[in-house]
A and B are shown apart, each in its own frame.
Chain A
């Protein structure tokens, strides 16, 4: 009993600083998610462009950012951009690298979702002589977004996990706070255990979102096929 109390008091002493680190993790994750979704839409739609140069450029981008790992990209941006007189804070570098890397993965979500919309939808829009832009924004995109939603939830989970790597470029996120606390207190096992739990805490709502979005997407798709 006293053991449990002892562990809890020790954990309680560590929590305030770890919570601060978790806040930094959440901040970077949120900004990276916005960046990644932006990149995903730009690259994903570019992959489907009618102009072959744009398609090729998007494919090259995708292969480069998927073919090397996020760690390498983080270090590349952190150390090599300043050599070309591009000076970004560590946080901005982190958001840029995570946004580009996971945005590249996300572009496949966008591309496959748009491609999965039936040809009939496009033909119907054409026969109604809707302009191309309206066809895309009012007919294809709303249906594609529904299909994308669960995958973007998973992307958010991947991003939350990927932020742990920013500790390697001097940002005091949750993981780096753990290192600092261990140096200060020597509580190795307890600190890493709490950190694992905090990452679980961050990702559990995202998991719930993914399963909700999956159900919602499949239900509304069924509803549509019943109507037809």
Chain B
């Protein structure tokens, strides 16, 4: 079956509508992961053994099980406990949980790179916990890991097609819909691949640029 350009142009609006959902899920999931990762990283530094063990266990489980199964867990198991959320919300929650494990490790590396003198100076100046962490440590810890976080944002964007498995009509889900209704697979799936490339390659170039300018600075 040859590639029909007319048909491809015809389904483009449907796919772009799906792409909007993809973008929402990506940024929603990333925002959740930035916050969730901070919570896990904080638990990891806690004086309470229980919290530290919880953080380690969480990171281990999340990093060693498939995102797809984690999404099924959020989507199918939570309703059993009386928590019913829309598919897109479940998807964003699943992405947030999954990527929290990775952002937590990134934060940990960033915090580890802040010289201990900075902590001591903050203590010596009598700064409170909030001032010490938010005003002194965080700016120094986050700037060097920004490119890594950027790479994870791109990585998350590329993993959003998995959301179609829990009935979310994002870019890939929209293509599946078209393919299912028209029995034409070539155009929708090729278009999805092209759209992903058109977005992810420039983004990774930007991150690489960011990384090299940072290293030079």
Contacts and interface: CB of A to CB of B under 8 A. Distances in A.
29 contacts: A67-B197, A68-B193, A68-B196, A68-B197, A69-B158, A69-B161, A71-B161, A71-B164, A71-B172, A73-B193, A75-B172, A76-B189, A76-B193, A83-B1, A83-B186, A161-B64, A161-B67, A162-B66, A164-B68, A164-B69, A165-B68, A167-B68, A175-B66, A175-B68, A178-B72, A199-B65, A199-B66, A200-B60, A207-B60
B165 interface: yes
Contacts of B60: 200, 207
A204 B200 contact: no
Contacts of B68: 164-165, 167, 175
Interface in A175-201: 175, 178, 182, 188-189, 192-193, 195-196, 199-200
B69 A72 contact: no
Q: Is the interface of B mostly helix, strand, loop or mixed?
A: helix
A67 B65 contact: no
B69 A80 contact: no
A195 B10 CA distance: 41
Given A67-B197, A71-B172, A161-B67, A189 B186 contact: no
A157 to B, nearest CB: 7
B64 A192 contact: no
B80 interface: yes
B64 A199 contact: yes
Contact of A199 (B69, B165, B185): B69
Contacts of B164: 71
A106 to B, nearest CB: 16
B54 interface: no
Contacts of A66: 200
A63 interface: yes
B66 A72 contact: no
Contacts of A34: none
Contacts of B196: 67-69, 72
A199 B159 CA distance: 19
B77 interface: yes
A161 B65 contact: yes
Interface of A: 63-64, 66-69, 71-73, 75-76, 79-80, 83, 157, 161-165, 167-168, 175, 178, 182, 188-189, 192-193, 195-196, 199-200, 203-204, 207
B149 to A, nearest CB: 18
Interface string B169-182: 00010001001000
Nearest to A204: B64
Contacts of B7: none
Given A164-B66, A200-B61, A79 B165 contact: no
A208 B105 CA distance: 19
Interface of B: 1, 60-61, 63-70, 72-73, 76-77, 80, 158-162, 164-165, 172, 176, 179, 185-186, 189-190, 192-193, 196-197, 200-201, 204
Given A182-B76, A188-B77, A189-B77, 13 more contacts: A68-B196, A75-B176, A79-B185, A79-B189, A80-B189, A80-B190, A163-B66, A175-B66, A175-B68, A175-B69, A192-B72, A196-B70, A200-B60
Contact of A75 (B66, B80, B189, B197): B189
A203 B162 CA distance: 21
Contacts of B76: 182, 188, 192
Contacts of B66: 161-165, 175, 199
Contacts of A193: 73, 77
B162 A165 contact: yes
A192 B186 contact: no
Contacts of B77: 188-189, 192-193
